[in-house]
Amino acid sequence: MSFYGLNEVMEEFKREGKEATPEVGEEILKRLEAYPYNYIPPSEEARKKILSLVLKEYKKFLKAG
């Protein structure tokens, strides 16, 4: 999965001590949508899939240290 700015957003959230919760995943998606090169489809099904992937990536990011 590749979104412009994802690593920067995850790093910021990690510094803020945010856990990998669905609410934090939604915050990450909102931040990513603000980048001009990212397209996140508006359908609920697509958002749920992307949210799941974002949370998975964020959990891996947090575990990596």
**Domain residue spans of the chain:** 6-64
pLDDT (0 to 100) of residue 2: 85
| Residue the block writes with tokens 């990212």 | 38
9 neighbors 38 (Cβ within 8 angstroms): no
For each of the chain's 65 residues, which pLDDT tens digit applies? 689 999 999 999 999 999 999 999 999 999 999 999 999 898 999 999 999 999 999 999 999 98
pLDDT (0 to 100) of residue 1: 64
pLDDT (0 to 100) of residue 65: 81
13 neighbors 54 (Cβ within 8 angstroms): no
